[in-house]
Structure 1
Amino acid sequence: MQFPESWLRAFCNPDLTTEQLAETLTMAGLEVEELKPVAPPFTGIVVGEIKTAEQHPNADRLRVCTVDVGQAELLNIVCGAPNARVGIRVPCATVGAELPPGEDGKPFLIKVGKLRSVESQGMLCSARELKLSEDHGGLLELSADAPLGQNIREHLALDDTLFTLKLTPNLAHCLSVYGVAREVAALTGAPLLQPEFPAVAAKNADRLPVKISAPDLCGRFSGRIVRKVNPKAQTPQWMVDRLARCGQRSVTALVDISNYVMFELGRPSHIFDLDKIHGGLDVRWGQPGEQLKLLNGNTVTVDEKVGVIADDRQVESLAGIMGGDATAVSDDTVNIYAEAAFWWPKSIAGRSRRYNFSTDAGHRFERGVDASQTVEHLERITQLILDICGGEAGPMDDVQVNLPQAQPVTLRVARAAKVIGMPLTQAQCADALKRLGLPVVEGDGVLTVTPPSYRFDLTIEEDLIEEVVRMVGYNQLPTTPPLAPITAKIRTESQRSPFAVRRALAGLGYQETINFSFVEERWEKELAGNPNPIQLLNPIASQMSVMRSSLMGSLLQVLKFNLDRKASRVRVFELGRVFLRDANAVNSDTTVAGFHQPMRVAGISFGAADRLQWGRSEQGADFFDMKGDVEALLAPLQAQFEPAEHPALHPGRCARVLVNGQAIGFIGELHPQWRQGYELAQAPMLFELDLDAVLQRPVPVFAPVAKFQAVERDIAVIVAEAVTHAALLAAAQAAVTHGLLRDTLVFDIYRPKPTPKGAEAQPVAAGGLAQGEKSVALRLTLNSAEATLTESQIEASVQAVLAQLVAQCGARLRA
């Protein structure tokens, strides 16, 4: 919220400098985000009146003006402004004046000069040249009664400061200059000017029928008719200036008056063209399919969740947000209807965002506006209309159907002292609340407050505690060290940290990415196979409407983002939380009932296996490259891989990752369907693992180095194509070798060439292999800690392994 300091001091003028006032507000929770002067520094500029304006003899676009600045002699000034004419009063920079600094930061000094051979003894200024606005269409025209020779800074009250407050949503009562002044009076003890609202005498008996059909939308609706107004009346300069310094441009007198009272008292209002209203007004919820053209030119469609003001024919206004174009005041308006209403905050909240715009009125109403002052504020609006636009006011109508009932809130002094962290007496707490204008009933260590109608935010004890600490001042709080003992949480040796996992993946060439936990619903259904994802009640964007149950969608989005920017090789990973439905989950300090929120680590690899280099030709990363990365990440744990299926991965190129027999995740190539959907030139490789399993790290156990030479034996067996690598190794390790078999390694696989199409199938291929068989060569490492192995021990161990391979895998020794 922005406003000029002078307007604030018109209500409450404490004996504080601008900087002290800003510090006082900030330390009371009303953060002053910016202090900015109304005008930059300049000197020597006064009010002048153009007495004559003649065409320059040597230039078509210049005029030679004589200007009266209150001195004995008139000044001769050459001016090129299109509105330079006799009789207007404008800012005049006399010789020696300094204009605001330019882009180089240096002030512009006015000297006597010549323009096309004609002497110029000063300069007539536009608002842009004084850096008061961006308007450069001509000279800045002043009021006709501006005193000649008066310093322009004094005349326009330019020695003022703009305050910009960054208010939290609970401080809705400070969304007006008077509301901030009320806080300043409470903080400093300076007197507060209480505005008065004398009733305007009714000159006619005309009334407009008003009906409130939705008490849960509108609790009070006040209005009156004013006839014979002059819509073309000029808005007073003081009002234009104050609105401009609040960031609001002047529109028309009637609109300016409504905006002015909103900034002054925090009361949004609306003015209808009475002659465009058909019948009476009905305040109700919208009906599906109804349309309304707004003042901003947009046409919106309402439904039963949006409040409207309608007449007997059509919708005329979005309740509490914006008026409609059909009943807007114009230069032809003669009779108006002014209204001020109380809208329930919950009925206004979020409605503007549905239509992708926001308004000052909606911003205030959805936070809460005083329900008790609609008539008084409308009296203020009416008086301004009569003073500026003239007219005859009718009687005040005030329809009340559902006003908020204030509920007492209790403050325990001991509780306040504990929460705030400093000793407080009951008298201090009571004084702080009374200074804010809150009615306080004192008991034994207890204060009871019935919040006034403008304090929607006071509902629980903590709200009153916050008010007390605001009045005390956050800068007065003591710096108290924590009293609780701090014990470092020591990680066991059998577990590594998430940071170590990050370093390990970075060492493998991956870069970390961090993504939102909110994802597109389509990802969950396609990539995670999750038909019922966890929906967000209030998503920040339509494409971020559910909580993710897998990290793969986020990584694919990062991949697509990089590929769209011509990246040829992408290797990224993420450590993040996923969200799963789990009926067994209960509420605790770190869990939420019904939802399991495990941490996972996932990675994606796209493009070449290595960066461009001279040592070997470029080769795309494949399943086995990523399998090696996963094994390196899990080391020294031994991972096993078994064929599996996953909605995001290729049906024939996907594996489940197991550690100690427990499934911990998946690895594989992206499904061709999703590769096509993402328009990827080649298939990326992905993995996703439970982080808890990845963090496990076996504690090293000492084992002596064997004293005796190990023996290696190679055997080749023929097995069916369906027999897996893992099955062969498991069978070999299961052989009874009395501990002599130390390691088994598959080092070669041979398959016969497929039979050419059309050729007669051979029962046995070359090398004694039939179709559908393969030859697997294994290297057995044998050793003993007691003695050198004898040939008989070696042979017995090899035969035991062969026997086990025959029994479990149907193998036969290759000739």
Structure 2
Amino acid sequence: MQFPESWLREFCNPPVNTEELARLLTMAGLEVEELRPVAPAFHGIVVAEIVEAEQHPNADRLRVCRVDAGPHSKDGPLQIVCGAPNARVGIKVPLAIVGAELPPGEDGKPFKIGTGKLRGVESFGMLCSARELKLSEDHGGLLELAADAPLGQDIREHLKLDDTLFTLKLTPNLAHCLSVYGVAREVSALTGSPLVEPNLQAVAQAHADVLPVSVQDSDLCGRFSGRIVRGVNPKAQTPAWMVERLARCGQRSVSPLVDISNYVMFELGRPSHIFDLDKIHGGLSVRWAKEGESLKLLNGNTVALDAQVGVIADDQAVESLAGIMGGDATAVSHDTRNIYIEAAFWWPKAVMGRSRRYNFSTDAGHRFERGVDPQGTVEHIERITRLVQEICGGEAGPIDDQQPAMPVREPVTLRVARACKVIGMPVTQAECASVFQRLGLPFVEGDGTLTVTPPSWRFDITLEEDLIEEVVRILGYERLPATPPLAPVTARVRSESQRAPFAVRHALAGLDYQETINFSFVEARWELELAGNAEPIKVLNPIAAPLSVMRTSLLGSLIQVLKYNLARKAPRVRVFELGRVFLRDASVQDTDHSVAGVHQPLRVSGLAYGPAAAPQWAQADKAVDFFDVKGDIEALLAPRKATFVAAEHPAMHPGRCAAVQLDGATIGHIGELHPKWRQGYELPQAPVLFELDLAAVQKRELPAAQGVPRQQLIQRDLALVVADKVTHDALMGTLRDDPLVRAAWLFDVYKPAQPTADIAAGERSLAVRLELLDDSSTLTEERIDAAVVSAVARVQAAHGARLRA
């Protein structure tokens, strides 16, 4: 929000200087981001009139001018040599008299004007352009001043250049300060200086014409006001004072009608729109748009509309984007003769986020989505009409004012005792009442309470804390005592049976994986192909067209990271991500930590590609495979023992994929990327991926003390011939089904190229080591042999295994 200090002081002029005013606003929550003078330092520049202009005798591009500078040309007009193309008799321009100093140049030094000679002709001063005075970048000619500018007047006084531009950085709850009058209302409350009300008197009505308007959707528009003005002159010149104020608010002049609408928006905070009445077909309807409709906007863009966007339409087509921007078809032009002035109250939620859908923003949308006073539509139309008649003429008709759904402001009660507790210093009920009175907040006093009914322009007051904030910022944060907090600090100790997410990250980093952080919104293709999700949750306003849906799996993000690294010639990639996924779940309720219908669990996912280990002299290169990553998962979950069961996953190879189970529950999957997706994503070889539920990974078993065995551990090796279909886990489970067998593990697999006498086709030999132990007594050879024979018998009965000859 940018505005000149002089305009603010027309509404409220407190007895403080510029720096004090800026500090006062900042300490009240209206942060002054920048203070900047309207014009740089210079002096000796006065208003002068060119009375003669002749061609330079020795230069084609120079003219010899004689100028009248009033009291500064006592001995007659001054002779000035000038090269500006618009130097002509009769115009008034800035003149730098001898001794004047122009704004500093690139070297930082001011440029001093003296008597000079150009191509043999003397020059006693310099006629200036706006660029030479650093008022703008326009260097097309001399700066032409108003015809009634007093000769000899200092240009700083004439153009009111001794002014300061305020730039406020407002938070979203300060919508009532998005106007000069709104800021002045705050300054009046802060300083006690009187507030000057704007002139909002009604204009005389010259005809009874009314444009038919139908407000069809009250959840879009709560109030709609409009007026017809006939016989305007759109070719009139916008007054210099209005052009100047708009420029100092950062707005360029367009045309008188558009300038008037913008001026009132900056003055009173009311965005409005002026239609060319003769381009409207029939009446207007205020409604939500329909699928398939489109609109060409004033900025030249044509946008596709849907039922989430509000519009103003006539009997033939959509003519305006509600609360954001008007349409090109009904825009005013130099041929406009009759206009329709519209001012409405659009519900903030009906405007919020709509501009971002079309990748642009407007001052009107910025204000409406934060809240604009619904009570001022008629008065502001009167203000616009008066300015239109003063500048463009015209005859005004009656104002049509429709109020289908005005907002109702609920009272909010402030407890003085609670205010003291929250603020941290004693405040009295009288002080609170004084604050509300200064802010224009109507209230009713009770026993230790004040009940405030928020006025129509304060959309930010809904809670008791909002009133407490108003009290402390108006009384002044400087009054707050510097007292240390007294609240006890209680450490929240995590249970030892659960690891922190950082510990999981640390463990994966120790396994040679690097963490990546990716967007939660991904390409719809990833969801369909890698997660089998044909109906993901769509993003309403994606930051980029491909990133259009919320992810239900982390795998797509990791594959994209892999492609990014491979494009940069990375031979070995091992990455992981810890993040949320977004699943449809009707049982989830809307709370402070959740969104209705969306379950958002945390997952941990990893990807390994390329060599299993970094190159070294002691071992040959080996491509990472399923079992390498399986070992990483076992290390991550240790000391808990995971079970890997053959399964299927949309992203993984049908024969090289397993479900990871803990205590009989599936917590994720591991597998090689499906060949179809490896080819579709143009990967030289298939990476190995895993994705696990983070909550399950965080759980861990607490260590339990156990005595050191007093008996000797016995080991026996078996070579068992089994069919290829017998799984490792099934075989190991059968071998361990004996109290004496403390452990069993596979240490070798042999499968001959051709069938042999002891290993037939479709069979393989598994070398297994058994650990036998009895805590109560020493194992004898007889018991050991019996345990081995029992183990062989069990696997023979369960899996058809036999000892290899």
Q: Of 763, 768, 775, which aligns to 2:765?
A: 775
Residue 668 (structure 2) pairs with residue 678 (structure 1) = no
Aligned to 2:377: 374
CA distance in 1, matches of 2:518, 2:437: 48
TM-score, L = length of structure 1: 0.87
Aligned residues: 800
Greater mean deviation of Cα atoms: 151-160 or 299-308? 299-308
CA distance in 1, matches of 2:492, 2:412: 40
Residue 29 (structure 2) pairs with residue 39 (structure 1) = no
Cα offset, 1:262, TM superposition: 1.4
CA gap 1:98/1:653 in 2 versus in 1, 3 angstroms: farther
Decide whether the 8 Å contact of 1:410 with 1:446 is kept in 2. Answer: no
Aligned to 2:489: 486
- 2:24 partner amino acid: T
- 1:255 partner amino acid: V
Cα offset, 1:162, TM superposition: 1.8
Aligned to 1:750: 750
CA distance in 1, matches of 2:338, 2:11: 33
Question: Which ranges in structure 1 are unaligned for 5 or more consecutive residues?
Answer: 755-764
Deviation sequence 1:623-663 (CA, Å, 0-9, x none): 23322322332334443322222222211111222345543
Percentage of identical aligned residues? 69
Deviation sequence 1:541-562 (CA, Å, 0-9, x none): 7666655443223333433444
SS of the residue 1:719 aligns to: strand
Deviation sequence 1:89-137 (CA, Å, 0-9, x none): 3334455555444555555555666666766665444333433333333
Aligned to 2:195: 192
CA gap 1:422/1:775 in 2 versus in 1, 3 angstroms: same
Note the 1:47-446 alignment, pairs <5 A: 47-55=47-55, 60-69=60-69, 70-72=72-74, 78-94=81-97, 97-103=100-106, 107-108=110-111, 123-202=126-205, 204-214=206-216, 216=218, 217-284=220-287, 286=289, 288-302=291-305, 306-389=309-392, 391-402=393-404, 404=406, 406-407=408-409, 409-413=411-415, 414-446=417-449
- 2:250 partner amino acid: G
SS of the residue 2:32 aligns to: strand
CA distance in 2, matches of 1:515, 1:110: 61
- 2:758 partner amino acid: G
SS of the residue 2:375 aligns to: coil
Cα offset, 1:409, TM superposition: 0.6
CA gap 1:111/1:797 in 2 versus in 1, 3 angstroms: farther
Residue 531 (structure 2) pairs with residue 528 (structure 1) = yes
Residue 25 (structure 2) pairs with residue 19 (structure 1) = no
SS of the residue 2:259 aligns to: helix
TM-score, L = length of structure 2: 0.88
Deviation sequence 1:410-465 (CA, Å, 0-9, x none): 41324444444443322222211111112222233333333333334444544434
CA distance in 2, matches of 1:79, 1:609: 80
CA gap 1:302/1:243 in 2 versus in 1, 3 angstroms: same
Cα offset, 1:385, TM superposition: 2.0
Cα offset, 1:178, TM superposition: 0.7
Decide whether the 8 Å contact of 1:623 with 1:668 is kept in 2. Answer: yes
Greater mean deviation of Cα atoms: 301-310 or 232-241? 301-310
Greater mean deviation of Cα atoms: 108-117 or 550-559? 108-117
CA distance in 1, matches of 2:728, 2:106: 75
CA distance in 2, matches of 1:244, 1:673: 60
Aligned to 1:730: 733
Deviation sequence 1:364-404 (CA, Å, 0-9, x none): 33433333333322222222222222x34233233334362
Decide whether the 8 Å contact of 2:210 with 2:397 is kept in 1. Answer: no
CA gap 1:272/1:705 in 2 versus in 1, 3 angstroms: closer
CA distance in 2, matches of 1:711, 1:221: 92
Cα offset, 1:310, TM superposition: 4.3
CA gap 1:772/1:438 in 2 versus in 1, 3 angstroms: same
Decide whether the 8 Å contact of 1:409 with 1:461 is kept in 2. Answer: no
CA distance in 2, matches of 1:116, 1:316: 60
CA gap 1:279/1:445 in 2 versus in 1, 3 angstroms: same
Q: Of 573, 577, 580, which aligns to 1:577?
A: 580
Aligned to 1:761: none
CA distance in 2, matches of 1:659, 1:405: 55
SS of the residue 1:396 aligns to: strand
Greater mean deviation of Cα atoms: 796-805 or 716-725? 796-805
SS of the residue 1:185 aligns to: helix
Aligned to 1:759: none
SS of the residue 1:231 aligns to: coil
CA gap 1:613/1:366 in 2 versus in 1, 3 angstroms: same
CA distance in 2, matches of 1:743, 1:2: 77
Cα offset, 1:469, TM superposition: 3.5
Deviation sequence 1:543-590 (CA, Å, 0-9, x none): 666554432233334334444555444322222233445677789886
CA gap 1:700/1:465 in 2 versus in 1, 3 angstroms: closer
SS of the residue 1:186 aligns to: helix
Deviation sequence 1:32-85 (CA, Å, 0-9, x none): 233333233344444444455555566554445555553446665554433333
Decide whether the 8 Å contact of 1:212 with 1:218 is kept in 2. Answer: no
- 1:605 partner amino acid: A
Aligned to 2:798: 808
- 2:19 partner amino acid: E
CA distance in 1, matches of 2:62, 2:624: 74
Decide whether the 8 Å contact of 1:406 with 1:450 is kept in 2. Answer: no
Decide whether the 8 Å contact of 1:207 with 1:397 is kept in 2. Answer: no
Aligned to 1:720: 723
CA distance in 2, matches of 1:609, 1:79: 80
Residue 556 (structure 2) pairs with residue 553 (structure 1) = yes
CA distance in 2, matches of 1:495, 1:285: 51
CA gap 1:218/1:794 in 2 versus in 1, 3 angstroms: closer
CA gap 1:606/1:47 in 2 versus in 1, 3 angstroms: farther
Aligned to 2:626: 623
Cα offset, 1:8, TM superposition: 0.6
- 1:2 partner amino acid: Q
CA gap 1:159/1:701 in 2 versus in 1, 3 angstroms: same
CA gap 1:310/1:780 in 2 versus in 1, 3 angstroms: closer
CA gap 1:258/1:662 in 2 versus in 1, 3 angstroms: closer
SS of the residue 2:764 aligns to: strand
CA distance in 1, matches of 2:433, 2:403: 34
Decide whether the 8 Å contact of 2:721 with 2:759 is kept in 1. Answer: yes
- 1:774 partner amino acid: R
Aligned to 2:3: 3
CA distance in 2, matches of 1:53, 1:375: 52
Cα offset, 1:16, TM superposition: 2.1
Cα offset, 1:244, TM superposition: 0.7
Deviation sequence 1:644-696 (CA, Å, 0-9, x none): 22222211111222345543322111222333333333222211223333334
Cα offset, 1:185, TM superposition: 0.4
CA gap 1:606/1:120 in 2 versus in 1, 3 angstroms: farther
Decide whether the 8 Å contact of 1:645 with 1:654 is kept in 2. Answer: yes
CA distance in 2, matches of 1:276, 1:589: 49
Aligned to 1:758: none
Decide whether the 8 Å contact of 1:67 with 1:77 is kept in 2. Answer: yes
Cα offset, 1:214, TM superposition: 2.4
Question: Which ranges in structure 2 are unaligned for 5 or more consecutive residues?
Answer: none
Decide whether the 8 Å contact of 1:262 with 1:268 is kept in 2. Answer: yes
Decide whether the 8 Å contact of 1:735 with 1:804 is kept in 2. Answer: no
CA distance in 2, matches of 1:466, 1:77: 61
